[in-house]
Structure 1
């Protein structure tokens, strides 16, 4: 079994070292910091029939069944498809599992990720199991966005914030994971991942630096009127919509920050510094605030998997963005 990540050591000792376990834990924190790996390790420790100190032994019948993916007292609940909701029927299966007797005579353990993917009916169906889990059952809930959870879900769990590693620890880990990259490239990658090293690794695998270069090039051409919003929106069809909205939200925040502080050290990544400074100097602050409000509202729809037309949404974004430095209200 893999070791816990270096930034999780203290939390792991605290969780695995407990003599009594809560019936439900909510492990929460930003995506890309290793919450799933921590939960899987704790699941193995809780199911193990002969734990070796803080860890599962790896040799008992329970450990072998878990490694083979056939453990009868283990239930993992995830969306049936990536980025889709967890449905009420899936939660009902979980509830049926919870009321059964453990087949190996030990604990039953449920792992649910991401908890915020449950729709309202699914979340309500889970509440009774959270309140009165049957027998010796432990539920491990993972959330990247706990603010989206029902208060009644959160109140029935021991809420455990998972640590975001510091920059030095993250960069040291990334240097081992991506030795072929330069230190400057790893710095940039970590910044694009908002400080989450595992998210940085995933972004690198999906080609984020090339995607970012394409987006930045498009924005610069748009502002120089070398490309129309509709043409650029069409050209961005292959770029992840959430990533684009994350970047525009970041850029508008940097524009506001510079308008308030005039601090050139706070202009963000080098690829957009001049653009951010130019737009901060040319755009009325009220319009920047209106743009920020619109961006955040649309980003929530993107995150919530609303039924959107990506090209039309991007065109609307780009029309407004191009108008900012002109002070034109559209």
Structure 2
């Protein structure tokens, strides 16, 4: 059974309590807030033969088949490999499922996640099923970046923004999810996860705090000229995900700009980099900071797009420009 999160209570009542369901829902919002669990919960409720208070009963034939992963009227579409595209042949198989009659005599329910993983041909292949699904079929589309979807996909769905929980609610939930972490550590993880509590739990499992400490130490040594850009790029950071590195440098460049504009010492980010951010803001020309931020965002987009990048050369270019903020090469 998918977990029910307290910040979804109102949305759940709204979705599951509908007298008549739309043929397609687009559940969108930041990663790490429980959209997939919400979709699975709704899928179970829609397929259940004897729902209780809007929830699946967990005991009927439909619920037991769904739990066993063998429900004939349920279809899950996701990338065949992590972080890869959903291909057009996968969507064609889905379309074949949609036109069939429900074997248990009720609804058919399709879950697609993440829907933005569909390439252009796959997305186009899905359009007719979204517009005119066969029989009593409900399609649940989960998106972490709905801006990447074709307008024709979005327009054929009931679009439902999923709420980001408040900081207080997230920290309360994280207290139960990460009981071995201190309150300070949970706050740091939530900040690193941009306020998404499930993402914070995932980051903790990946050892993100240790990885960040390594990166922060490297940046400080780079600025003090105790390590070179090449040394950091080739060895010290070799096991740290590129996207994580670019996220942090993008955040730091934004904090530098913010401080240059406001001189607000309360807006310097997490404690581990506050002094560095403030120092760089005081020593750097604003046009240089703007240029490196544009460059970081462009490279980050390439990383997201799975471009074939030379990791060492890319990191070396990043670090040379970072040191260049101080007028050094």
Bin of the TM-score, shorter chain as denominator length: over 0.9
1:179-200 per-residue CA deviation (whole Å, 9 max, x = no partner) reads: 1111111111110110100000
The residue that corresponds to 1:84 in the other structure is 84
- For the residue of structure 2 that corresponds to 1:268, the secondary structure is coil
Q: Distance in 2 between matches of 1:78 and 1:123?
A: 13
Check whether the contact 2:2–2:38 (CA below 8 A) recurs between aligned residues.
no
The residue that corresponds to 2:245 in the other structure is 244
Using structure 2 for the length normalisation, give the TM-score: 0.98
The residue that corresponds to 1:319 in the other structure is 320
Q: Distance in 2 between matches of 1:144 and 1:307?
A: 23
Matched, 1:309 2:310: yes
1:123-159 per-residue CA deviation (whole Å, 9 max, x = no partner) reads: 1111111111111110000000011111110000000
The residue that corresponds to 1:13 in the other structure is 13
| Unaligned segments of structure 1, at least 5 residues | none
Using structure 1 for the length normalisation, give the TM-score: 0.98
Structure 1 residues 1-330: aligned runs within 5 Å: 1-235=1-235, 236-326=237-327
Q: Distance in 1 between matches of 2:182 and 2:60?
A: 44
Q: Distance in 1 between matches of 2:24 and 2:312?
A: 42
1:275-316 per-residue CA deviation (whole Å, 9 max, x = no partner) reads: 000110111101111111111111011111111111111111
Q: Distance in 2 between matches of 1:91 and 1:307?
A: 26
| Unaligned segments of structure 2, at least 5 residues | none
- For the residue of structure 1 that corresponds to 2:326, the secondary structure is helix
1:206-251 per-residue CA deviation (whole Å, 9 max, x = no partner) reads: 0000000011011111111111111101121210110111000100
Deviation at 1:12, TM superposition (A): 0.4
Q: Distance in 1 between matches of 2:151 and 2:136?
A: 24
Q: Distance in 1 between matches of 2:207 and 2:45?
A: 36
Deviation at 1:111, TM superposition (A): 0.3
